[in-house]
Amino acid sequence: MFATNGAWHNDRAMRIVRSVAGMQRQALGWRRSGVRIGFVPTMGFLHPGHLSLVERARKAVGPRGKVVLSIYVNPTQFGPAEDFTRYPRDLKRDLQLCRKAGVDVVFTPGDASMYPGKERGSYSTYVVEEGLSGSMEGASRPTHFRGVTTIVAKLFNVVLPEIAVFGAKDWQQAAIIRRMTADLNFPVRIIVAPTLRESDGLAMSSRNKYLEGDLRRQALVLTCAIKHVSGRVAGSRGGLPAAGLRREAAAIIRREPQARLDYVEFFDPDTLKPLRRVGKGGHMALAVFIGATRLIDNSRL
């Protein structure tokens, strides 16, 4: 049944909330009643990796808690030449998956709700993290993390979660959100859940939909590079020079005709500081274009 303002409707046990005010009212009501809220922010086109985050949020808040999943393709985290307009969307399918997964509320706001006045030039407030966002994704996509931290901060203020769950596939993003949450005193516990992979090892991603024909096979080159470096590090004593491992990974990427390396980096998993020498416990992240599709992956070594 739709409310008169179209903000939300009931669909069995799951609510679809479309307005910021409607979501805040619901969240405030829960908080006043002592109900714990777990939150999974997404851009939709859900896959089993997203649903594993829902399961983790449900476990964290318990059977009496509520799980909110947001679906919003955030324009401010896309650069001008990136895939915002063609980013895969299928809200009907997403809602079916959420219902089966036991999500309590799906929050699906529009741009006018999340960035009021932006089209008229009267929206001017952004959240910027300055310590962890300059390398890797931040270097390749200079405005990306400003958009991510801004939208996550806004969603935290709307959904009012006690717990928020993010995926480890976006390792740098998770680290930045943890830092933002601590620095800005958000009363939210951040959980980073493991990356889910396809049976052949490819990290699950909404952008995998773009991989047609032989591009899907070529995308496995990211996994191959990670496995190669992991094996080299595991067999070393005292670690190996990062520069040499970077050249080896790049050579593996070049084996595929449609693969183009953006970056390979080695860093401390907690501080994101680059490593000159890579040993066990170090972290590897890479970004690779497969045709026109940019994929990322990472792994502890």
Q: What average pLDDT does the structure give for the chain?
A: 95
Residue 260's pLDDT is: 98
For 90-141, the pLDDT digits (tens) are 999 999 999 999 999 999 999 999 999 998 889 999 999 999 999 999 999 9
Helices (H), ranges, the chain: 20-32, 48-61, 91-101, 111-114, 137-140, 144-159, 171-183, 215-218, 221-234, 242-253
If one compares 285 and 6, the residue with the highest pLDDT of the two is 285
* Under 8 Å between Cβ of 72 and 43: yes
Domains identified in the chain and CATH numbers: 8-193 (3.40.50.620), 206-300 (3.30.1300.10)
* Under 8 Å between Cβ of 103 and 14: yes
Using alpha carbons only, give the angle 14, 41, 61 rounded to the nearest 5 degrees: 65
* Nearest by Cα to 23 from 69, 55, 82: 69
Q: What one-character-per-residue DSSP string does 27-74 give?
A: HHHHHHTT--EEEEEE-SS--HHHHHHHHHHHHHH-TTSEEEEEE---
Considering 47, 50, 144, 228, which one is annotated as catalytic? 50
The region, left, alpha or beta by phi > 0 then psi within -120 to 50, assigned to residue 142 is: alpha
Q: How far is CA 164 from CA 22, 98, 123, 254, 297, in A?
A: 20, 16, 26, 38, 21
Which two structure tokens, joined as six digits, stand for 67? Answer: 């799980």
Average pLDDT of span 71-88: 96
Q: Is 50 a catalytic residue?
A: yes
* Under 8 Å between Cβ of 175 and 132: yes
For 8-56, the pLDDT digits (tens) are 343 448 999 999 999 999 999 999 999 999 999 999 999 999 999 999 9
Q: CA-to-CA distance for 268 and 278, rounded, in angstroms?
A: 9
* Nearest by Cα to 282 from 290, 291, 296, 271: 271
Query: Which H or E run contains 206?
Result: none
pTM, whole model, 2 decimals? 0.93
Neighbours of 152 (CB within 10 A): 26
Residue 5's pLDDT is: 39
For 247-280, the pLDDT digits (tens) are 999 999 999 999 999 999 999 999 999 999 999 9
* Under 8 Å between Cβ of 260 and 249: no
Q: CA-to-CA distance for 289 and 291, rounded, in angstroms?
A: 6
